[in-house]
A and B are shown apart, each in its own frame.
Chain A
Amino acid sequence: MFLNFFFDLKQAQLPVSLKEYLMLMEAMDKRVITSFNVNDFYFLSRSALIKDERHLDKFDKVFGHSFKGLENKSETTEAEIPEEWLRLMGQKYLSDEEKKLVESLGGWDKLMETLKQRLEEQKKRHQGGSKWIGTGGTSPFGAYGYNPEGIRIGQKESRNKKAVKVWDKREFKNLDGDVELGTRNIKVALRRLRKFAREGADTELDLDGTIKSTAHKGYIDVKMMPERRNKIKVLIFFDVGGSMDAHVKICEELFSAAKTEFKHMEYFYYHNCLYDYVWKENKRRYNEHMSTWDVLHTYPSDYKVIFVGDAEMSPYEITYPGGSTEYWNEESGETWLSRTLSVYENAIWLNPVPKQYWNRIASTNILQQIFSNRMFPLTIDGIDQAMRELNKS
C-alpha cells in the first residue's frame, strides 16, 4: 500500500528516493507515531519524503489521491484558475442548503452578513465588468473587504461538504516553484551560474601556501594570491514595449536580481525581435542606439547570452526582411538571431508567458526552433533550468 503511494509520488515527478522511503519505513517500525491516525501518518510521511516547500502542494494532491481515491485533478486545470475566480465560484454556487451547512459548521453570522452584502455587490459589479471582482476582493479596508474565512467556503463547498482534511486544504499552494516570486528567489536561481576563479592582483594571504613554503625553506615566507571572484559574464537582451508591458514587473525583478548577482553584466533593449540595432536607454532609443554588429564584436564569445521576451508577434517579423513593425529592416530577425547564436555558444531565451501556451503561438515555435529548444519559462524553476543550460560549455 505504501509502495503504491511511493510510486504515485514518483509518477507525479516528486524527487523522492529509496533512502527516504526506507527512512519512513524505519520511522513506522520504531513507532514514531503510535496513534495510527492518518493525520499523523500524513505529517510523518511529508516530513520524511518531501524536502522542499515547493513540492508540498503536489505532495498533498498525491496523498489525497492515494489514500482516499479522490479524483486527482489534472495539473493544468488546477493551475489555470486564478484565485479570484475561485472566490467568485464559491459565492455563485452557494445554495441555501450550503449556507445552512456553513452556519451549522461555525455559526458565523457575521460571515453570512458580509457574504450577502458581497453577493449584492457582486451583481452590480458584474454588469459593470468582471474585473471589479478582483479589486473588490482584495481590498483590506473593510469597505469591500474580503473576509479570509470567505475563501474557505469556496474550498469547502467544492469538496465533500465536511470539514476539510489537512492535506485537502493545500495550504502550501502559493509556494509552488512555478509561481513567479520576488527578487530574492530569482537571485538564488541565478546563483547556479557561478564560476569562481582567482584572477587579478595578489591581495589575499595564501595561508596554506605560506605554511608550506615556510616549512620548506625554514624561515617565514609569506605567499599571496588573488581574490576569488565570480567570473561569469552575462549579456541580456530585454524585449520592451507592446505586449511586454504586461510582464514589466517580473522583468524588473529579473533585471535587479541579475544586476546584483553578476559583476560583469551588460544589457540592451530590443522590440519584439532582434534586428540590426539595439539600445540602452528607452527614452532616447531613436537617437542613441548601437548596431547589433558592434555588440557582437564588442563582447567576446565567452559571454553568456540571455534573451527575455514573450516571443509573441507575427511570424513575418522573424522570418522576412522588412517584417519589423517599426522600420524597414534589410535582414530578417531570424538572420540576426542565428548570427548572434553562432557567436555565443551559450544562449537561452526566457519567456514570461506560461509554458502551456507556447505551442499555440506560431512565433514562439519558430523561436524555439532557432534556439534549438533552449527557451525556458520566466519562473523560478525555469530560470534554474536555464542557468544549468548556460553552465554547460
Chain B
Amino acid sequence: MKFEGTKNYIATEDLKVAVNAAITLERPIIVKGEPGTGKTMLAHEVAQAIGCEIITWHIKSTTKAQQGLYEYDAVTRLRDSQLGDEKVKDIKNYISKGKLWNAFENEKRPVLLIDEIDKADIEFPNDLLLELDKMEFFVYETGETIKAVNRPIVIITSNNEKELPDAFLRRCFFHYIKFPEAETMEEIVNVHFPNIKKDLISEAFKIFYDIRDVPGVKKKPSTSELIDWLKLLMTDDVDAKTLKEKDPKKLIPPLHGALLKNEQDVHLFERLAFIARRENESID
C-alpha cells in the first residue's frame, strides 16, 4: 500500500514520503499549508489511490471530541419513556455513532479525514489523544469497548488558527505543504487543463508569480486561484499576446478578480500601476 500521487493530484517527493510513513506506521498525519494548496484534496486522493472509502469529519468551532465517537440522545429516550415505547428498554437505540466509530468498524481500512482541526476549541485535540493513539474508546452507556478492526489512515488538516498541543503533535507525522515552485505548478496545471496553449501558460505564470511577489499583498493568490483564473482566461479566449503586453496602462492583469480577492489588494495594485506609469512617463 503505497501512495504515489494520482492522475489528478501532483504529489511532491517529500509529501509522498510523509504520507507513506503515516500509512506504514498507522499514525495520523497532520497537513498544514497556505489555503488553497490542496490539503483537503490530499485525503480524497489518497483514498482514491489506495482504493478505499473516505470518511470526512468537518470540524467547526462548536464541534466536541465526543461527537466524533458517539452521542447519547437522552431527550428522545426521555420522550419515548413517557410514551411507553418498547425501544426505551435498550439503551443502544439511543446511541448514534460518530465518524470515528464509523471509521473503526469499517471492514476495509478507510481514510479518515479530520478537516480543519484548528477550528475547534483549544482542548479538542487533547480529547482525542488516546482515541487516535490506541484507536479504541469506551462507551459508558453500554459498557462496550470499540476497537478499530483496521487502523484507519488518519489525515488531519489545519489552517494554523490555533496551536495544537505538543502531546498531540508528538503522536503524528507532520507535513507542511509549501507553495509549489513553477515546475510543479506547471505539472499541476497540465493535469487540470491538458489542452491549454503553452505560451499562455508561461505568460500567465509570470504574472501570477509577480503578483505573489508584490510586497504587502494581504491574500496571496494560491494554486486553486491560479486554476480558476486560467479557466477564465480560456473561456474568454484571452491569448498570450494580451497578457504579454507591457503597456503600462494595462498593468492590472485581465480578469484579476480571480486572483485578487481583497479590496485592499486591488487598490494596492492600482496604486502600483499608477506609480509605474508615472515613472515610465518621466523616463520618456
Please determine whether B176 and A138 come into contact, CB atoms closer than 8 angstroms. Answer: no
Selecting from A6-14, A49-57, A308-316, the interface stretch reads A49-57
- Whether B175 and A148, one on each chain, are in contact in the complex, defined by CB atoms closer than 8 angstroms, is no
Given the contacts A53-B176, A140-B210, A211 and B170 also touching, CB distance less than 8 Å: no
Give the Cβ gap from B211 to chain A, nearest Cβ, in Å: 7
Contact A141 B272 (CB under 8 A): yes
Contact across chains for A141 and B276 when beta carbons are under 8 A apart: yes
Within 8 A of B (CB), among A239-280: none
Inter-subunit contact A188/B163 (CB<8 Å) = yes
**B43 in the interface, Cβ–Cβ < 8 Å?**
no
> Considering only CB atoms, which chain A residue lies closest to B218 in the complex?
A182
Point out which of A17, A48, A140 has the most chain B C-beta atoms below 10 A from its C-beta.
A140
Residues of A within 8 A of B (CB-CB), count: 44
For the complex, give the distance between the alpha carbons of A182 and B171 in Å.
29
Task: Known contacts A172-B178, A188-B162; decide if A48 and B74 are in contact (CB<8 Å).
Answer: no
Give the complex CA separation of A314 and B122 in angstroms: 44
B86 at the interface (CB under 8 A from A): no
Report the stretch among A22-30, A153-161, A358-366 that lies at the interface.
Answer: A22-30
Is the pair B161, A188 in contact by a Cβ cutoff of 8 Å?
Answer: yes
A159-201 near B? 1/0 per residue, CB < 8 Å: 0000000100001100100000010110010010010000000
Whether the pair B169, A40 counts as a contact (CB closer than 8 A) is no
Q: How many of chain B's residues touch chain A, expressed as a range?
A: 35 or more
- Asked if B24 is an interface residue, CB under 8 A from chain A, the answer is yes
CB-CB nearest in chain B for A134: B215
The CA-CA distance from A52 to B170 in the complex, in Å, is 11
Q: For window 1-58 of chain B, which residues contact chain A by CB distance below 8 Å? A: 13-14, 17-18, 20-21, 24-25, 27, 29-30, 32
CB-defined interface of B248-284 with A at 8 Å, one 1/0 digit per residue?
1001000000000000000000001100100110000
Q: Does A226 contact B (CB under 8 A)?
A: no
Q: What's the least CB distance linking B216 to chain A, in Å?
A: 10
Within 8 Å of chain B (Cβ to Cβ): is A142? yes
CB closest chain-A residue, reference B170: A19
CB distance from B127 to the nearest CB of A (A): 16
Does the CB pair B24–A39 fall under 8 Å?
Answer: no
Contact A188 B160 (CB under 8 A): yes
Chain A, range 52-71, C-beta contacts under 8 Å to B: 52-53, 56
Q: Report chain A residues within 8 Å CB of B163.
A: 188
Tell me if B130 is interfacial: C-beta within 8 Å of chain A. Answer: no
Taking CB atoms, residues of chain A closer than 8 Å to B107 are none
Are B174 and A143 within 8 A (Cβ)?
no
Shortest C-beta distance, A72 to chain B (Å), equals 23
Q: B-contacting residues of A (Cβ < 8 Å)?
A: 15, 17, 19-20, 23, 26-27, 30-33, 39-40, 43-44, 46-48, 50-53, 56, 138-143, 145-146, 148, 166, 171-172, 175, 182, 184-185, 188, 191, 194, 211, 214
Query: What are 7 pairs between A and B in contact, CB < 8 Å?
Result: A23-B27, A44-B21, A140-B211, A140-B272, A141-B276, A148-B209, A211-B74
Chain B interface residues (CB < 8 Å from chain A): 13-14, 17-18, 20-21, 24-25, 27, 29-30, 32, 74, 78, 122, 160-164, 166, 169-176, 178, 209-211, 213-215, 218, 246, 248, 251, 272-273, 276, 279-280
Given contacts A51-B170, A53-B176, 6 further A-B contacts (CB under 8 A): A19-B170, A26-B25, A32-B24, A48-B173, A53-B32, A141-B276
